[in-house]
Chain A
Amino acid sequence: QSVLTQPPSVSAAPGQKVTISCSGSSSNTGNNFVSWYQQLPGTAPKLLIYDNEKRPSGIPDRFSGSKSGTSATLDITGLQTGDEADYYCGAWDSSLSAYVFGTGTKVTVL
């Protein structure tokens, strides 16, 4: 069972912006760094954001992350049809000594 809560789905028209939230607790998102993963249909997850806001090489700046308190946010601007995917947040949980993923959010481009 996931300990990080995300909205099941978000949607917007091409070119618009979507925001995905990730809510946790002090033992995970509150005191540890958050990562975001993109899983395109039928493919392996891909690291999108790490350390709350950093982008790996090759990830466009349309994807941005932030964190405040125990909640993290992933913003996708200039939405494209190729962004349709499932998005997961993740963080180390110091109390569980376990890595925890969010419940996942499906992004739909209208």
Chain B
Amino acid sequence: EMQLVESGGGLVQPGGSLRLSCAASGFTFSGYTMNWVRQAPGKGLEWISSISPYSGPIYYADSVKGRFSISRDNTESSVFLQVNSLRAEDTAVYSCARGRGYFSSGTYNMDVWGTGTTVTVSS
């Protein structure tokens, strides 16, 4: 069974940092682009970042560019999101999702999702 399990969330003060992890199982991790998507309380889905199978190319949403950094370890079947300079508006459930398709051809979707880890930014 394909599975994604996130961890690393928690309560952090404004300006603080966290490292989120997503462990994959049940599929060949190195064959897929991986994504982070967040959902603020009561709000919609917001794509945050994508990383290609061998760590290039990497894309970020403008809202997190310069503050968040995505990485992956194919030997551990894991993808990470380093979140720095956190703001109250970064409070959300952060989920990882497996990507399918190709950006260049415009056919891209996310077909396997984790349940997420909660990040709360508050003093």
Contacts and interface: CB of A to CB of B under 8 A. Distances in A.
Contacts of A24: none
Given A44-B113, A44-B114, A45-B113, A101 B107 contact: no
A4 to B, nearest CB: 10
Given A44-B95, A99-B50, 9 more contacts: A32-B108, A44-B113, A47-B110, A50-B109, A90-B110, A91-B108, A98-B62, A99-B59, A99-B110
Interface stretch (B24-32, B40-48, B74-82): B40-48
Given A44-B116, A92-B106, A97-B59, A50 B46 contact: no
B109 A101 contact: no
B54 interface: no
A16 interface: no
B85 interface: no
Tier of interface size on chain B: 20 to 34
A44 B107 CA distance: 22
B88 interface: no
Interface of A: 2, 31-33, 35, 37, 39, 43-47, 50-51, 56, 86, 88, 90-92, 94, 96-104
Given A98-B61, A99-B50, A2 B106 contact: no
B103 to A, nearest CB: 6
B115 interface: yes
Contacts of B114: 44
Nearest to A86: B44
Contacts of A32: 106-108
Given A88-B44, A92-B103, A99 B108 contact: yes
Contacts of A98: 47, 59-62
A72 to B, nearest CB: 13
Contacts of A91: 106, 108
B118 interface: no
Contacts of B111: 47, 50, 56
Contact of B106 (A39, A90, A94): A94
